[in-house]
Amino acid sequence: MVEKAGLAFGIDIIGYPDELGGAIDLEGYRMFARAGLSLFPLPLSAWERDAARCYQAIKRHWRNLAPLRARN
């Protein structure tokens, strides 16, 4: 979970080398949505290749949430 300035979302790290490494299934995404939270899927391999680019994508996701929260 990431929280800043009252906005929160989860990061689904896909491909972590253990039993938790799989992606969250569709029902999991729906459960987070019902709780008012979005999930950002992030393949571990992408983070390992280019963490700076992934970080920028996470920041864009956070900025895109702000207008949605302002309307609710």
Whole-structure pTM over 0.85, yes or no?
no
Q: Kindly list the distances between the CA atom of residue 40 and the CA atoms of 21, 48, 58, 64, in Å, as whole numbers in the listed order.
A: 15, 16, 7, 12
Q: Write out residues in the chain with pLDDT < 50, as ranges.
A: none
Q: Within 13 A of 23's CA, how many CA atoms are on the CB side?
A: 9
CB atoms within 10 A of CB 13: 15
Query: How does the average pLDDT of the chain come out, rounded?
Result: 84
Both tokens of 66, joined, read 């702000």
